[in-house]
Amino acid sequence: MDITTFSALIFSGSLIAGFLGSLTGLGGGVVIVPLLTLGFGVDIRYAIGASLVSVIATSSGAAAAYVKEGFSNIRLGMFLEMATTFGAYLGAGAAALIPTNVIAVIFGIVLLYSAWLSIRGQEPDPGSRRDPPDFLADSLHLDGSYPDGKKAVPYRVHHIPTGFSLMFLAGGLSGLLGIGSGAVKVLAMDQAMHIPFKVSTTTSNFMIGVTAAASAGVYLSRGYIDPGLAMPVMLGVVGGAISGSKVLKNSRPAVLRLLFAVIILILGIEMIYNGATGKI
């Protein structure tokens, strides 16, 4: 296969990955790595490096729009980035020490978890919470509000230590597996820190690019980012994400989530099988 055909196929696959990831909110990274390793035989570390580049690109574009609209909690995001960035740096460093078949098994488990999240769908937005203020969140001025029509809905942030710990885990997974780990970030903010879902998802998107950049620096220094591979992946994922955001307005989310869940469930089983049998 010549390089032009290979790049065209990579671009097409990444386009689909970005499209599916945008429709479900889980990002294209969960599809890119198994697509490259299982479908094209790319070394998993190079696949992770390419995925991280695509995560940075897609996050940077979407994050700017959410920040402008007033949904993202910038102060909270920057505070939690201390945990995710450190976790991502350690995760990326561990990737060079952990055997590729073990990374594949871990990735497969994360895919199965993502499939479950996709099937479960989104929890109802809790909206404005009237809980008493959290001392640490109040001291750091992390509470905020988000726009809802013509009014601003206030909310409080809770359980900072728990959320900070979960963010460290999310960063570690991002660095080790080359994904945005947005599902873990959203889960931490929505369930543990009691932040409205709209704020959780947009703040997570704002954080993903910074987390991936910390990991990508480690992969780049070790030569695991190949421009010839990363470029078609990045262009495909960005193009797919833009298309998916437009289709989402007139689509049935339940059907899309089920389709996405089935796809990554199959990929997850394949990754675990190939990792356990030493084929990756």
pLDDT, position 128: 46
pLDDT, position 11: 94
pLDDT, position 175: 84
As a whole number, the mean pLDDT across the chain is 81
Assessment of whether the complete model's pTM goes beyond 0.85: no
User: Rounded to 5 degrees, what are φ and ψ at 145?
Assistant: -150, 160
pLDDT, position 7: 92
pLDDT, position 127: 44
In angstroms, what CA-CA distances link 128 with 30, 70, 263? 32, 16, 35
Residue 208 corresponds to which tokens in the numbers above?
A: 């993903």
What gap in Å lies between CA 60 and CA 213, rounded to an integer?
Answer: 11
Task: Point out the residues of the chain with pLDDT beneath 70.
Answer: 21-28, 60-66, 118, 120-131, 180, 182-183, 245-254, 256-257, 260
pLDDT, position 118: 64
pLDDT, position 249: 55
What gap in Å lies between CA 77 and CA 55, rounded to an integer?
Answer: 17
pLDDT, position 250: 62
Single-letter code of the amino acid located at 69: E
User: Rounded to 5 degrees, what are φ and ψ at 153?
Assistant: -100, 115
pLDDT, position 200: 81
Write out the DSSP string of 190-237.
IIIS---HHHHHHHHHHHHHHHHHHHHHHHHHTT---HHHHHHHHHHH
pLDDT, position 256: 64
pLDDT, position 240: 83
Residue 232 corresponds to which tokens in the numbers above?
A: 């078609």
